[in-house]
């Protein structure tokens, strides 16, 4: 099973700032198999990015994904108030696994 480790655990930033979230895999992940989800309190997660860098339908272009192999990054170029949430990376290899999440909170 591929283990995904996300860091930092918590990111404290102000609206308008840039957020950089990291996801490291215990072994190489195919680029097409890495996704990012956003979850707000009391809500289901929502797909943001799939295939490492493709935005899901309706996702604004301030969200971008990059990376390869074992290291992947989600970048939010300028934080909007609605972006403060928990973000999970997800991979599919022989099984489906999620990272532990990064909470982006208002500083």
Partner 1 sequence: QVQLQESGPGLVKPSETLSLTCAVSGYSISSGYYWVWIRQPPGKGLEWIGNIYHGGSADYNPSLKSRVTISVDMSKNQFSLKLSSVTAADTAVYFCARRVYSSGYVDYWGQGTLVTVSS
Please report, as ranges, the residues that interact with partner 1 according to CB under 8 A: 1, 30, 32-33, 35, 37, 43-47, 50-51, 56, 88, 90-93, 95-101
Residue 21 near residue 100, CB atoms below 8 Å? no
Residue 56 near residue 10, CB atoms below 8 Å? no
In the complex with partner 1, the residue whose CB is nearer, 15 or 51, is 51
In the complex with partner 1, the residue whose CB is nearer, 16 or 42, is 42
- In whole angstroms, the minimum distance from the beta carbon of 4 to partner 1 comes to 10
Phi first, then psi, for residue 29 (nearest 5°) are: -115, 135
């Amino acid at each position: 099973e591929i283990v995904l480790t996300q860091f930092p655990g918590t990111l404290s930033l102000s609206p308008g700032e840039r957020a950089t979230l990291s996801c490291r895999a215990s072994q190489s992940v195919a680029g097409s198999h890495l996704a990012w989800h956003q979850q707000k309190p009391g809500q289901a997660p929502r797909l943001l990015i799939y295939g490492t860098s493709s935005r899901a339908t309706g996702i604004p272009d301030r969200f971008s994904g990059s990376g390869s192999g074992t290291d992947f990054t989600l970048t939010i170029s300028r934080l909007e108030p609605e972006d403060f949430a928990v973000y999970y990376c997800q991979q599919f290899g022989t099984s489906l696994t999620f990272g532990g999440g990064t909470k982006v909170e208002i500083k």
